[in-house]
């Protein structure tokens, strides 16, 4: 894995996010679309990919998943369940990944509230960058395992403190 500073790709990432968010919102106006991940915040190390978080309630989750299957290629199908699904925009440069979560689910915390915490907490952002530095040149599987552990710690803290869906 190699990383760059988010500030160096911010303009391009914002434009790519805006284009994909518009594409999704045109077909799913009832869903909330957020830019998250390393390119969404200044001062973070990132691989440069653009991550979108699509949030849907119980009523709209399955229709949203079906529609996103029409717009994008399914990703990590073995990790899909009743409250999360992943997608990728094929041939996008930079890479674009989309996660659909059920509002209030653990995956929703992982992809939403956890990123809001990183944005608000300088120490957490520094720890995120340290994780990236430690994984510079590492295998993708080692990096993903370390990143997953980092976010699990944040989500465990959110669940312990009773914080959850930021819209509540």
pTM of the full structure = 0.88
Do residues 83 and 61 touch, judged by C-beta distance below 8 A? yes
Look up the CATH number of the domain holding residue 15.
3.30.460.10
- Burial (CB < 10 A; 0-12, 13-18, 19+), residue 112, is buried
Residue 166 lies in a domain: no
Residue 76 lies in a domain: yes
Q: How many domains are there within the chain?
A: 1
Q: Cα dihedral angle (70, 96, 107, 131), rounded to 10 degrees?
A: 160
Residue 60 lies in a domain: yes
Rg of the chain (C-alpha set): 15
Question: What is the spatial distance between Cα 27 and Cα 115, in angstroms, rounded to a whole number?
Answer: 25
Parent domain of 103? 4-161
How would you write the pLDDT of the chain (168 residues) with one tens digit per residue?
789 999 999 999 999 999 999 999 999 999 899 999 999 999 999 999 999 999 999 999 999 999 999 999 999 888 899 999 999 999 899 999 999 999 999 899 889 889 999 999 999 999 999 999 999 999 989 998 999 999 999 988 776 655 443 333
pLDDT at residue 110 in the model:
86
């Amino acid at each position: 894995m190699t990383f760059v500073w988010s500030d160096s790709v911010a303009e391009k990432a914002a434009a790519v996010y805006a284009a994909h968010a518009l594409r999704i919102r045109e077909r799913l106006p009832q869903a909330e679309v957020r830019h998250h991940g390393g390119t969404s915040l200044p001062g973070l190390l990132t691989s440069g990919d653009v991550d979108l978080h699509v949030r849907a309630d119980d009523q709209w989750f399955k229709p949203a998943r079906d529609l996103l299957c029409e717009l994008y290629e399914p990703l990590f199908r073995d990790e899909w369940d009743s409250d999360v699904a992943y997608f990728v925009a094929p041939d996008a440069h930079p890479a674009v990944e989309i996660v659909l979560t059920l509002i209030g689910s653990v995956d929703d915390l992982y992809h939403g509230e956890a990123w809001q915490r990183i944005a608000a907490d300088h120490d957490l952002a520094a720890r995120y960058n340290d994780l990236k530095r430690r994984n510079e040149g590492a295998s993708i599987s080692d990096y993903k395992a370390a990143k997953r552990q980092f976010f699990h710690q944040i989500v465990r803290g959110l669940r312990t403190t009773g914080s959850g869906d930021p819209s509540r």
